[in-house]
Amino acid sequence: MGLSFRRFLFFWEQRNSSEKGENRPLITKGNIKPERSSHVSYATTDDSSGSQSSSSSSNHQGLTRVVSWTGTSSGPPGPSSWSDYILKYLLITSNLLFTVLGIVTLVVGLWGLVHKESFAQEKMGGIGTDPMLLFSFLGFVLTLLSLTGCIGALRENRCLLRTFSGALLLLVVVQVLAVIVVYSLQDQIVDYLRSGMLTAMARYQDDLDLRFITDEIQTGLQCCGADTYRDWEMNVYFNCSAPGVQACGVPPSCCVDPLENGTVWNSQCGVGAQRLDEFSAQSVVFLGGCLGGMSRWIEQNTGAIGTVAVILLGVQIITLFITERLLQKIQRSRDWHYMNS
């Protein structure tokens, strides 16, 4: 009997020691180190005083949402820095300027179409080659794209900014592909230019815009026709079989000296130039065509053209980076306000 009682006491002492061990923490509080985490964690408050029911109630009420931003070196996102404001208003200002430029281009294009009555039924067939239509299209696209970026940056609207960024990225890709295509298909591009030049020459008297562009090209490059001054024979008014004073002639923009006495524009300086041989005609009109003049001009200004192209492409790429930086800032700010709400 005494032996059984001693065994019972020994068993009870072992049970008490094990229960005490279960209540003892595995790791002392002094050795616990805060864990760095960038995720949302939950912390509970522990109330050692009071009854068991009050302790569980306080633990439930003490459940708080804690956001740890220790994963980043900058800490929790506070007010926007001065660099964010500069980038934001730089994006707004640049897009505002391009919006104004786009509106001006659009207005000029629409004014040209209305002024020439290009939408009239008898002129609808040639509206596809009307340069004013290209002006209108470019002006509309530039206005819409720049206005989207301006309003998106001003209102910090992520949807508008993403639309602007995607459209600008697409535009950059199209420009790069266009440069590659032009470089790879130089011979075909020359044929397209020749065809366009001949079309403009055929409609010289009928389309004021094509007439203006042709005159500016021939005056600026000091050329006449596409390949030679005799190309003007394809025009119904300058053809040698045509009636009128312009027969076998060329426009005054082909003349070496179109100004009479240096002051008055002589519209008859090119009359009969096609009847002259090259030796006699060289003192009256430019013999070379404009396609050769364009090639020489491009070769002489290759450096300037490349510099301008790189600058324009660089501005667009920088605009993409600024837009992306602004989107990230807006996202961080909204996440921070959401976590603290």
What does the pLDDT average to over 100-112? 91
Enumerate the domain spans of the chain.
82-188+319-339, 206-300
> Do residues 306 and 74 touch, judged by C-beta distance below 8 A?
no
pLDDT value at residue 129: 64
Contact criterion met (CB below 8 Å) for 150 and 322: no
Cβ(164)–Cβ(91) below 8 Å: no
> 164-187: buried (b, 16+ CB within 10 Å) or exposed (e) per residue?
bbeebeeebeeeeeeeeeeeeeee
Q: What is the pLDDT of residue 71?
A: 40
Q: Tokens 């000296």, residue? A: 257
> pLDDT of 41-54, one tens digit each?
333 334 434 444 44
Q: What is the pLDDT of residues 124-142, one digit of tens each?
A: 666 666 778 888 999 999 9
**Token digits of residue 297:** 């001009």
Cβ(95)–Cβ(81) below 8 Å:
no
Which residues contact residue 326 at a Cβ distance below 8 angstroms, ignoring those fewer than 6 apart?
84, 87, 88, 91, 153, 156, 161
Q: Express each pLDDT in 241-284 by its tens digit.
A: 888 888 899 999 999 988 766 667 778 888 899 998 888 898 89
- Nearest alpha carbon to residue 135 among 99, 171, 168, 107: 107
pLDDT at 73: 40
Fold of 206-300: Cd81 Antigen, Extracellular Domain; Chain: A (1.10.1450)
Q: How far apart are the first and last CA of the chain?
A: 70
